[in-house]
Amino acid sequence: MQVSVETLNALERRVTVRVPAEKVATEMQGRLQTLSRKVKIDGFRPGKVPLKVVRQLYGQQARFETASELMEQSLTEALTQENLNPLSQPHIEPQRLEEGQDFEYSATFEVMPDIEPTGFETIRVDRPVAEVTEQDIDNMVQTLRWQHVVWNPAERPVRQDDQVCIDFTGQIEGQDFPGNKGENAKFVLNGKSLLRDFEERLIGLSSGAETEFDCVFPEDYHQHLAGKTAHFQIKLHAVEEATLPEVDDAFAEKLDIQGGVANLRESLRGTLQRGLRENARAFIKRQVMRGLLMANQIPLPRALIANEIENLASQMQFPKDLADEQAWQLKLSMFGPHAYQRVALGLLMAELVKRESIQIDAQRVRSVLESLTAEYQDPGEVIASYEQNPQMMEQVQALALEEQVVDWLLERAQVTEKPMTFDEVMHPKPPANPEELPGEPSVPDAAAQAALESPHE
């Protein structure tokens, strides 16, 4: 058997295998003999059909089965011989199998890229310096009041902070899009549930009103809708106004806080401080990850990106009733860049762990476990349940190892302390220029996007 390997690009390999004619003849003869013992042909006793007759009647089948078996066996041997590990099912291009001739075929597939992480000193990180203020606690109290709101019918036009019940239908250039319609849908006009332009069109309407208008989706909206104009038709069924509970001892008790409003505020302070610490770490981590991506623009196998796109789509409960090509293009638009980021970061961080011999630290695992369970009523009980579940503990260990890699990178990055408010840390805005400011990482190069747009295999 002769094997040759051709490097098509950084990730693709083409293996060409040539099986000697003697091997082909032996396998073909064996296949025909097997068939002769099984086939039933009028005029011949079972198992006594001459090979010449079997060849005439079943030669094509025998060639196909022989070719399939030869490719399966020889490709496995060839990949082992050349120390190659395809990331997905190879695309095989066989020639016609003919007795008396060598049988040749080629297999094309992707392999893992060679990765050498670098550029750690170019990573720039703003470390937030923030604290919880009395105003932050006031805001949290107000949030809790809204969580216990009572809605009452309002016989007047819609105002800000009202709850409306509407039927709506939207189309873009006369076509439906995901989430474009609803009946008796309820929304609170607080700038969080709906697009700002959409909300403003509802202000001032009265129950029973019908209207239609155009609404432009923001540029930072979901990619498949960003910047597009939708035409909406609306029917307003009902308007409700909010009645918020008073902030008193009874309200604190309703939240399972004993000792009145003072203890409620102190409890909220602790909760907000924990949240601030967690979000500050996440804020730093996003910058580190983005910096690592920008410093290492590595080629990625389409197979890995496609798998990650499908994983993300499954997590988001992507509808399954769309046509295959339509569904793939929509998934690509919605999840492609994020899938690229996740695959690239996974490979880069795994390589760092390997190269720098970073070992899981038991104390860090315990810290992550305590952080995950801090908000439970009995954290010790939840920790015990984690420790008794190997699969859950593997997830905790993975988070701990990820934190250790981030710390390793921070030691080599350019870190600057940045005064920030509680709200800025808890609700960071996307960067004005994703190529320069920290934030959610973006696809770093055109080659990556081109890979994403390649046909789904």
Q: What is the CATH number of the domain that holds 90?
A: 3.30.70.1050
Name the residue among 285, 345, 346, 339 with its Cα closest to residue 316: 339
Domain assignment of residue 275, yes or no = no
Tell whether 396 and 433 lie within a shared domain.
yes
Asked if residue 385 and residue 323 are part of one domain, the reply reads: yes
Long-range contacts of 198-201 (CB under 8 A, 24+ apart): 198/232, 201/232, 201/234
Residues 124 and 155 in one domain: no
Asked if 334 and 431 sit in the same domain, the reply is yes
Map residue 77 onto helix, strand or coil: helix
Say if residue 124 is in the same domain as residue 166.
no
Structural domain includes residue 255: no
Q: 348 in a domain, yes or no? A: yes
User: 153 and 125, same structural domain?
Assistant: no
Domain boundary among 83, 110, 137: 110
Pairing mode of beta strands 124-129, 414-419: parallel
Range of the domain at 96: 2-110
The answer to whether the CB of 440 falls within 8 A of the CB of 286 is: yes
141, part of any domain: no
Q: Is 408 found in the same domain as 292?
A: yes
Let me know whether 103 and 124 are in one domain.
Answer: no
Give the closest residue to 265 by CA, choosing from 142, 375, 378, 425. 142
> How far is residue 374 from each of residues 307, 365, 367, 370, 384, measured CA to CA in Å?
34, 14, 10, 6, 13
194 shares its domain with 82: no
65 in a domain, yes or no?
A: yes
Same domain? For 104 and 163 the reply is no
We report the CATH number of the domain holding residue 172 as 3.10.50.40
The enclosing H or E element of 85 equals none
The pTM of the full predicted model, rounded to 2 decimals, is 0.72
Using DSSP bridges, classify how beta strands 181-188 and 163-171 pair: parallel, antiparallel or unpaired. antiparallel
302-311 core/surface letters (b: 16 or more CB in 10 A; e: else): bbbbbebbbe
pLDDT of residue 45: 65
What CA–CA distances, in Å, run from 332 to 208, 289, 328? 40, 22, 6
The answer to the question of residue 248 being in a domain is no
Phi first, then psi: what are they for 115, rounded to 5°? Answer: -120, 135
Tell me how many degrees the CA angle 326-328-329 measures, rounded to the nearest 5.
65
DSSP percent split of the chain into helix, strand, coil, nearest 5: 45, 20, 35
- Could you tell me the CA-to-CA distances from 160 to 191, 196, 451 in Å, in that order? 9, 11, 46
Residue 432 is predicted with a pLDDT of 53
Is position 84 within any domain? yes
Q: Which domain CATH number covers 290?
A: 1.10.3120
How many domains are contained in the chain? Answer: 3
- Is residue 420 a part of any domain in this protein? yes
Q: Are residues 86 and 124 in the same domain?
A: no
Mean pLDDT for back-to-back runs of 10 residues, the chain (457 residues): 92 94 88 77 70 75 87 93 91 85 93 93 97 97 96 95 96 89 94 87 95 90 83 96 96 93 96 95 96 93 91 84 75 89 94 95 94 89 94 95 97 97 90 44 40 42
Distance of CA 98 to the CA centre of its chain: 47
Q: Tell me: do 82 and 124 sit in the same domain.
A: no
